[in-house]
Amino acid sequence: MILTESPHSRSSGCFSQNKPRGCFSQKTTPANGSDLVKFCVKWFIFKEPNMNTVYDLIQYSFKIKKREESSQIRILNSAKPLLDADYTTFTVDDAREFRENRPYQHCDGTLRQDIANLEALWKLGKHMGKLEVNVWEGLKFGLKPSKRRYKTRRFEEFERLHDCPFFLGIWAHGMRLEELGGLESRDIHIETDIPYIDLYHTEARRLKNDASIREVPIHPSWLPYAKKWKMERSSKAEQHRIARYCKGNYHALRHYFRARMMRAKIEFTIQQALMGHSSNSMTQHYGLIELEDKWEAMQEIPL
């Protein structure tokens, strides 16, 4: 649903005027990311000036730290019931009530992530002198993180996608869809001794984090596509096609890639280097995984 009225015509706080305190208003908040963007654009047009709303704080955080659109949508989704709340008067009791009401019937894992996003937002506000107290600290306690389990699927089960370069690129390299979708011909090096893909931050492709900056050796099965690759973002039709056969989840393909590396007994640090994961282990920060190491490992990973 797209907002059809100024949110401030309902309330200047996080609760609806027509409901007792403790009941969050959800009537005009949209359900999906696309509508959420439209919702916020229209909100920005109609909102009253100089309001210290949570939405203002979110926009301020986006100016301080550049984020991908997908990350922006996740943060906005976390704060949906609170977007028109005055963050300067938001109390610990309000934050506890947010948790107790469990917006949108969220499970523990989703609610935990929402609170983590809000805690980070308040932390930035406190650091910049806009807030004195982070009211979300400690509210994740007792909420168990959700861990999605993926049943391993084999390459043969995706026969209808064997002609799709985006599917094959993700399947063979464990790359994220946005990493492959933003790939330019200059990022593909096939004239070197070891053909590889160079992933780094660009204007067209912002990686998830700095750990995602890496060189990925090109799997032999994808080399024909690499030789004729031009920058072409995956169309909506291709995305829906992949999603349909991945049961709606592109990210599952990265899990399948990890499972194949484990079956091939690839060293853990090389697995991380190939997938662009960071490590909290100090020991693993010593030494450097060379392209040759990743290339040798790639030859052992079965399709």
Over residues 1-13, the pLDDT tens digits come to 223 333 333 333 3
Distance from C-alpha of 38 to C-alpha of 142, rounded to nearest angstrom: 35
Query: DSSP string of the chain?
Result: ----S-GGGT-SSSB-TTS-TT-B--TT--SSHHHHHHHHHHHHHHSPTT--BHHHHHHHHHHHS---HHHHHHHHHHTGGGTTSBTTS--HHHHHHHHHH-GGG--HHHHHHHHHHHHHHHHHHHHTTS-S--TTTTTTTTPPPP--------GGGGGGGTT-HHHHHHHHH---HHHHHT--GGGEE-SSSS-EEEE---SS---SSGGG-EEEEPPGGGHHHHHT----PPPHHHHHHHHHHTTT-THHHHHHHHHHHHHTT--HHHHHHHHT-----SGGGSS---HHHHHHHHHH---
Residue 97 resides in a domain: yes
Asked if 174 and 117 sit in the same domain, the reply is no
Q: Are 189 and 142 in contact (CB under 8 A)?
A: no
Asked if 101 and 200 sit in the same domain, the reply is no
Stretch 278-295: mean pLDDT: 72
Give tens-digit pLDDT for 199-240. Answer: 998 877 778 778 889 999 999 889 988 888 755 555 566 666
Residue 147 resides in a domain: no
Query: CB under 8 Å to 69, separation ≥6 — which residues?
Result: 37
Mean residue pLDDT of the chain comes to: 77
Residue 184 resides in a domain: yes
Structure tokens at 173: 């390299």
Asked if 283 and 215 sit in the same domain, the reply is yes
Asked if 215 and 94 sit in the same domain, the reply is no
Asked if 162 and 107 sit in the same domain, the reply is no
Distance from C-alpha of 217 to C-alpha of 198, rounded to nearest angstrom: 9
Asked if 120 and 191 sit in the same domain, the reply is no
Residue 116 resides in a domain: yes
Asked if 209 and 250 sit in the same domain, the reply is yes
In sequence order, what are the beta bridge partners of 199? 214
Edge-to-edge strands of the sheet including 214-217?
188-189, 196-199, 214-217
- Mean pLDDT: which of 112-126, 194-208, 281-295 is highest? 112-126
Residue 134 resides in a domain: no
State the pLDDT at residue 241: 72
Asked if 165 and 107 sit in the same domain, the reply is no
Domain carrying residue 281: 155-300
Q: Which amino acid appears at position 162 of this protein?
A: H
Asked if 46 and 118 sit in the same domain, the reply is yes
Categorize the per-residue pLDDT at 66 as very low, low, confident or very high, splitting at 50, 70 and 90: confident
Structurally, how many domains does the chain consist of? Answer: 2
For 98, phi then psi, to 5°, come to: -60, -45
Distance from C-alpha of 155 to C-alpha of 233, rounded to nearest angstrom: 23
Asked if 188 and 121 sit in the same domain, the reply is no
Asked if 165 and 238 sit in the same domain, the reply is yes
Asked if 163 and 121 sit in the same domain, the reply is no
Residue 135 resides in a domain: no
Stretch 114-123: mean pLDDT: 92
Q: Are 236 and 252 in contact (CB under 8 A)?
A: no
Residue 140 resides in a domain: no
Structure tokens at 273: 């280097």
Q: Which of 76, 109, 127 is the last residue of a domain?
A: 127
Stretch 290-297: mean pLDDT: 93
Better-predicted residue by pLDDT, 245 or 299 = 299
CATH number at residue 232: 1.10.443.10
Distance from C-alpha of 76 to C-alpha of 172, rounded to nearest angstrom: 33
Residue 75 resides in a domain: yes
